[in-house]
């Protein structure tokens, strides 16, 4: 199996600065490419376990969204509209007219929005535990709702930690990571660690950037309907459990029905034993996502398979 550490790092010019991109090259230089977009407070190395599962059969390009990790120093604006432009810049930089796109959590909303706005640039989509509209709570402030939903991922943005190990310890207590710690997770959090002059550390994420993206997935009708209006093939892979490892996942049959998902067009499956984070972590999550990425990359211009990888709980 490939080692997630074997990636190349480069930057491309975008509005306001330089966007960081990690590339896991395929063994065959002529292999197809999949572009990966991470979640709201994540970074490119969130896909480390998936890169290992793909095992160099496909070229993978994973960006750090602006305001995070090695793209932290990009100037505003923030929000999904500019995130979409940044993903397009990644495609343009490598000369890809069309590509398979995959996104996790917030990243799923980004790639669905890109597909709805620029259908000529997208072969197909793999949305991982995101992209479909959540139930709306109109009387609740979007920032309050975001913090209540994402929990520790937002709270940490206002925290300072004694050192890098203390930052890791904070995450070791996260309900979704207990029992699932891994070298990939350590590397991902290391990329997010920003050292201060006094030796203390904070998250690299810029809170204004995070909240701008979060508000848009809560309030923007176009973003919320993008998975339904995109014309390319779409696969939605859902975690069985939630953001805090609770038994209720982000999506179930009722939530997807309320989101208007057309199951004759969107191929849906739940990955057993995964939560919102471990769905792209080592084991069944990354293995299943990786298998799906390979299939999409190798079957471009085809309708998504109705036969999912083994051990998936298919939507009714």
8-14 sheet: strands from edge to edge? 8-14, 17-24, 59-63, 33-37, 99-104, 122-128, 234-239, 266-271, 313-314
CATH number of 8-142+206-314: 3.40.50.1820
| Percent of the chain residues topping a pLDDT of 70 | 94
Give the separation between CA 148 and CA 99, rounded to whole angstroms: 35
Reported as a single tens digit per residue, the pLDDT across 199-254 is 999 999 999 999 999 999 988 999 999 999 999 999 999 999 999 999 999 999 99
| Beta pairing partners, 250 | none
User: Cα-flanking dihedrals φ and ψ of residue 18, to 5°?
Assistant: -120, 125
Sign, Cα dihedral of 148, 152, 156, 161: positive
- 0.85 cut: is pTM over it? yes
pLDDT score at 302? 59
Element (H, E) at 270: strand 266-271
Whether 216 contacts 209, CB under 8 Å: no
Domain boundaries, the chain: 8-142+206-314
pLDDT score at 152? 73
Give the separation between CA 274 and CA 249, rounded to whole angstroms: 9
Please state, in angstroms and as integers, the Cα–Cα distance from residue 145 to each residue in 15, 166, 199, following that order. Answer: 30, 27, 33
Residue 122: which of 45, 227, 225, 213 has the closest Cα?
227
Give the separation between CA 263 and CA 235, rounded to whole angstroms: 10
């Amino acid at each position: 199996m490939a080692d997630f550490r074997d990636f190349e790092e480069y930057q491309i010019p975008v509005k306001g600065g330089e966007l960081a991109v990690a590339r896991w090259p395929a063994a065959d230089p002529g292999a197809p490419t999949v572009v990966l977009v991470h979640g709201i407070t994540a970074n490119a190395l969130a896909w480390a376990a998936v890169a290992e599962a793909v095992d160099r059969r496909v070229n993978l390009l994973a960006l750090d969204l602006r305001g995070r990790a090695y793209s932290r120093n990009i100037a505003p604006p923030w929000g999904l509209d500019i995130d979409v432009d940044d993903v397009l810049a990644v495609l343009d930089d490598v000369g890809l007219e069309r590509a398979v796109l995959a996104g996790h959590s917030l990243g799923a909303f980004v790639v669905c929005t890109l597909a709805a706005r620029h259908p000529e640039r997208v072969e197909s989509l793999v949305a991982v535990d995101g992209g479909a509209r959540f139930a709306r709570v109109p009387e609740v402030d979007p920032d309050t709702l975001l913090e209540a939903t994402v929990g520790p991922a937002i709270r940490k943005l206002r925290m300072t930690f004694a050192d890098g190990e203390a930052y890791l310890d904070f995450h070791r207590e996260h309900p979704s990571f207990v029992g699932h710690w891994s070298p990939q997770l350590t590397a991902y959090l290391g990329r997010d660690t920003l050292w201060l002059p006094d030796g203390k550390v904070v998250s690299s994420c810029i809170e204004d950037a995070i909240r701008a993206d979060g508000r848009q997935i809560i309030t923007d009708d176009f973003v919320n309907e993008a998975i339904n209006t995109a014309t390319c093939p779409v696969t939605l892979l859902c975690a069985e459990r939630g953001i805090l490892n609770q038994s209720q996942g982000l999506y179930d049959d009722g939530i997807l029905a309320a989101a208007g998902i057309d199951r004759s067009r969107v191929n849906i499956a739940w990955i057993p034993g995964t939560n919102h984070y471990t769905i792209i972590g080592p084991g069944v999550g990354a293995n299943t996502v990786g298998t799906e990425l390979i299939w999409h990359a190798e079957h471009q211009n085809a309708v998504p398979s109705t036969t999912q990888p083994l051990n998936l709980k298919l939507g009714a």
